[in-house]
Amino acid sequence: SEFNEPFRPQYHFTPPSNWMNDPNGMVYWEGEYHLFYQYHPDGNTWGPMHWGHAISEDLVHWEHQPIALFPDEHGTIFSGSAVADVDNTSGLGTTENPPLVAIFTYHDAEGEKAGRDDFQTQGIAFSTDKGRTWSKYEGNPVLESPGIKDFRDPKVAWIDGQWIMSLAVKDRISFYSSDNLIDWKHESDFAPDWAAYGGVWECPDLFPLKTPEGEEKWILFVSINPGGPQGGSATQYFIGDFDGKNFTTETTEVKWLDWGADNYAGVTWSNVPESDGRRLFIGWMSNWQYAQEVPTEVWRSAMTIPRSLDLFRDGEGYSVASKPVKELGKLRSETQSISGQEASLNHELVELEFAVTDEDFRIEFQNEENERLILEKTGEFVVLDRGLSGITSFNADFTNTQTAPLGNIQVKNLRVFLDRSSVEVFINDGELALTALIFPNSPYSKIQMQGLGSGKAHYLKSIW
Ligand code: FRU
């Protein structure tokens, strides 16, 4: 593939062909960011899952790798994580050449068909050649099912001298501990009554972030499907403390990582050097409501742009901001200044930056087909309307207007990333983010603006 088909993202990660969903196994090791993903190599809709694989040195340019994990006698390979076992606690490498270890869910479709309820278990695999080839552990599965159908998506981290696994178990997150990534002990469950339970809990992630004052907090991500704020899939999160066994939350209302319809199952990279200091994130840029129907054939689905996560003061408490990683700056080619109420866009790949001057703003993207995408702030809300943005007929849920409450956020600036089939909006460096798919029949070539100060359009280069 030339990576140049209609709607093929030009600076977002996509598989060369066929179906992709969740990002998996993200780990940094010896100068390389690994990205694995839920992959169906034999079709452009969901099917028997494998782990596809890609490697990047800069989070922006990706090199596709052979499939890393294939189904085996225990099942197909659902979502999970990867860690650098630097002390060789698993014994699967050596201390001189420590292994990368992937921890994933086995989904035994035969068992499911037979009516059993213990068909999801956890297995591990390892690599001692910088992630190029992977071997399954002979003693798999390492964690059997207690007889709960939804028992999946292990995210493992080294926390205070032990491995901690966060696992999505139907309507709660279970935490397990281990010394060696092989023997796991159940420690606790987390499921506050007031959380969002519109759908099954999936793809957790547990990690620390510092407040602007330097205090450490623990963050727990939980993706849910359905039940997101725009319908279908979305990621809620909790802020609190983890004491090695229990997660306790100080938040008392549901928080959403992204208010757009298309950022799901995202988690963060493990083993990023402390000298870097960032918590790096990527999400699946789609929604189970229509993911399998979007108008692409050769491949289906892309990842969001990578983001770095920070805590910011939000009224009495804190919230998580997600801002585009600085490495994306490499993609900028020409920059055009924008002022007034109208401007033409001379390139389909563009990053816009605006100062917001008025109380409310409105920006409308238009193409020659008279298709239009509207982003506005009216009072307490930011609204993204893709109802007339291009091809929308493949699913009725796709045209819903996306509304995000600003809460305590005072809008100061706006960044918008447009690719061939997506828009990503960041208010105040990611204090509010909205990610959405779009399928315009030709690039937006004009913008009309109200309430915005001076701005810039950075034209971006393709990564392929
Ligand atoms: C989330 C999810 C995970 C599961 C995977 C299967 O999108 O449903 O819970 O492991 O996709 O592909």
| Separation CA 285–CA 299 (nearest Å) | 13
**Closest ligand 1 atom to 168 CA:** 9
CATH of the domain at 220: 2.115.10.20
Q: Is 243 tagged catalytic?
A: no
Average of per-residue pLDDT values in the chain:
98
Q: How many CB atoms lie within 10 A of CB 405?
A: 13
| Separation CA 307–CA 145 (nearest Å) | 34
Nearest CA to ligand 1 atom 8: 202
Q: Is 237 a member of any domain?
A: yes
Give the model's confidence band at 2: pLDDT under 50 very low, under 70 low, under 90 confident, else very high. confident
Tokens coding 31: 């100068």
For 396, counting Cβ atoms within 10 Å of its Cβ (0-12 exposed, 13-18 middle, 19+ buried), the class is exposed
| Separation CA 289–CA 9 (nearest Å) | 20
For 424, counting Cβ atoms within 10 Å of its Cβ (0-12 exposed, 13-18 middle, 19+ buried), the class is buried
Maximum C-alpha span of the chain:
66
Our measurement of the distance from residue 292's CA atom to the centroid of its chain's CA atoms, rounded to an integer in Å, reads: 18
37: CA distance to ligand 1 center in Å? 10
Q: Are residues 302 and 398 in the same domain?
A: no
Average pLDDT (206-222) is 98
Give the model's confidence band at 59: pLDDT under 50 very low, under 70 low, under 90 confident, else very high. very high
Q: Are residues 297 and 339 in the same domain?
A: no
Q: Is 3 a member of any domain?
A: no
Q: How many CB atoms lie within 10 A of CB 31?
A: 9
**Closest ligand 1 atom to 80 CA:** 10
Give yes or no for a contact between 353 and 415, defined as CB atoms under 8 angstroms apart. Answer: yes
How many structural domains does the chain have?
Answer: 2
Of the residues 324, 355, 387, the one at which a domain ends:
324
Q: Are residues 252 and 314 in the same domain?
A: yes
Of the residues 324, 348, 366, the one at which a domain ends:
324
SS3 at position 131: coil
Q: Are residues 308 and 342 in the same domain?
A: no
288: CA distance to ligand 1 center in Å? 10
Q: Are residues 85 and 212 in the same domain?
A: yes
Q: Is 10 a member of any domain?
A: no
Q: Is 9 a member of any domain?
A: no
Q: Is 13 a member of any domain?
A: no
Average pLDDT (276-294) is 98
Note the pLDDT tens digit of each residue in 116-149.
999 999 999 999 999 999 999 999 999 999 999 9
Q: Are residues 395 and 287 in the same domain?
A: no
CATH of the domain at 340: 2.60.120.560
Nearest CA to ligand 1 atom 9: 202
* pTM of this structure: 0.98
Our mutation pick for probing the ligand 1 site, out of 18, 20, 21, counting the most ligand atoms within 8 A of Cβ, is 21
Around 349, how many Cα atoms within 13 Å sit in the side-chain half-sphere? 18
79: CA distance to ligand 1 center in Å? 6
Note the pLDDT tens digit of each residue in 311-349.
999 999 999 999 999 999 999 999 999 999 999 999 999
Q: Residue 1 pLDDT more than 60?
A: no
Q: Are residues 219 and 85 in the same domain?
A: yes
Q: What is the value of ipTM here, to two decimals?
A: 0.99
Q: Are residues 348 and 287 in the same domain?
A: no
Nearest CA to ligand 1 atom 6: 78
Note the pLDDT tens digit of each residue in 152-175.
999 999 999 999 999 999 999 999
Q: Is 164 a member of any domain?
A: yes
Q: Is 450 a member of any domain?
A: yes
Our mutation pick for probing the ligand 1 site, out of 24, 45, 79, counting the most ligand atoms within 8 A of Cβ, is 79
SS3 at position 331: helix
Q: Are residues 173 and 314 in the same domain?
A: yes
Please give the pLDDT value at position 72.
98
Question: Roughly how many angstroms between the first and final C-alpha of the chain, as a whole number?
Answer: 10
Residue 322: C-alpha distances to residues 27, 94, 403, 433 (Å): 19, 37, 18, 7
Q: Are residues 198 and 264 in the same domain?
A: yes
Q: Is 121 a member of any domain?
A: yes
Q: Residue 179 pLDDT more than 80?
A: yes
Give yes or no for a contact between 124 and 142, defined as CB atoms under 8 angstroms apart. Answer: yes
Q: Are residues 339 and 308 in the same domain?
A: no
Q: Residue 218 pLDDT more than 90?
A: yes
Identify the domain containing residue 71 by its residue range.
Answer: 18-324
Average pLDDT (183-205) is 98
- Ligand 1: residues with CB < 6 A are 21-22, 38, 49, 78-79, 105, 152-153, 202-203, 265
Of the residues 274, 293, 324, the one at which a domain ends:
324
Q: Are residues 270 and 342 in the same domain?
A: no
Give yes or no for a contact between 197 and 225, defined as CB atoms under 8 angstroms apart. Answer: no
